[in-house]
Amino acid sequence: MRLKYIISAFCLGIFASCVKEGISEPGFGITGYEVNSIVDSAGNAVRQVTFSFSGDAAVISFYPGVLGNDYAYREGRILDVKALLSSFSTTLNNGTQDDQLSVMVSSDFNGTYDITNIHAATWTDITGDYVLNTRGASASLPSGTKDLRNLVVDGKPLYYAYRYICKPQTENGANSTWRIRAFSLQSETDLGATSLATLTTADWNLINDGAIVDPGRGAVIESSGAIRFNGNHINKDVHTESWAISKAFQITKTDMGPDRPIAIKSTINPTLGSYSFNYTTPGTYKAVFIASNASYEGQLSVVREIEVKVP
């Protein structure tokens, strides 16, 4: 067990020694800790760490070293997106044309949903990072999960898109029908996973381009919410290009403000000989106690820290 004392003094007034008449430096110290496995009041299995103290102080606060209560972030915490997880499922029916469906992302699309502005943007093809279904499969196939974090450009939005191209069918074969279901985009931070969009909340914009696009063909959102792509069934020798493009996703860091200590003793409380805290996750933590004595003349504080190993 590694035990470290850091002493700091905070005074109100100008005194070189920071010693005030009537205020003594807290004689507070940590003598050790023990770990026990218990079930908390909510029925969860946790590791309860009980710290033992020597001496006393008028006021004691505690940073257990967990998210939101970590001394290292007492000046502030910036929460970054560690992962941007995307997934969906597909079905492929009918036809013979291959490689019609592509999955694309862009950080410089200007948000004007027409074919001219779509073509003017830079799109990264990430189709190969997913598993797409085979023709005629009876069930929708999950794509697997792709982390898009490395495709995010700071200060710019991210657009997610599906593109479908149908070539003239006499020469290239009959059009195939693709359906997209179960779309999900989640961000992961130290606080856990947050849903950014599902199939029905991604606000898909559908763009169908070609000399002639037959009614109900190209990109269509079905009553079930699925995105369906197919080519013309009347004007079959017209080249068509269809897109389903999401709304803009702003992937930014979040200023969480400073982490806060837990107040465990005030001036009206008796001497504190021990204190218990429940850790839910195994690991090594830096537990920090701040002990203070104060009066109208000023304040003297000491910072005590101890490394805690939770099995």
* Helix/strand/coil percent split, the chain, to 5: 5, 50, 45
pLDDT single digits (tens) 106-117: 999 999 999 999
Q: What is the DSSP string of 111-161?
A: S--SHHHHHHS--EE-GGGSPPPPBT-SS-EE---EE-GGG--TTS-BEEE
Q: Phi/psi of residue 238, each to 5°? A: -100, 130
The predicted-structure confidence for 56-83, as pLDDT tens digits, reads as follows 999 999 999 999 999 999 999 998 999 9
Mean pLDDT over each residue of the chain, to the nearest integer: 92
CA distance 239 to 166: 6
Q: Which amino acid is at 207?
A: I
Topology of domain 3-76+260-310, CATH: Immunoglobulin-like (2.60.40)
Q: Range with the lowest mean pLDDT among 45-54, 76-85, 258-267, 292-301?
A: 292-301
Whole-angstrom distance, CA of residue 202 vs CA of residue 152: 17
Nearest residue to 161 (alpha-carbon basis) of 114, 123, 132? 123
For residue 143, give every residue at least 6 positions away whose Cβ sits within 8 Å of its Cβ, in sequence order, or none: 87, 88, 89, 90, 130, 131, 132
Model-level pTM? 0.76
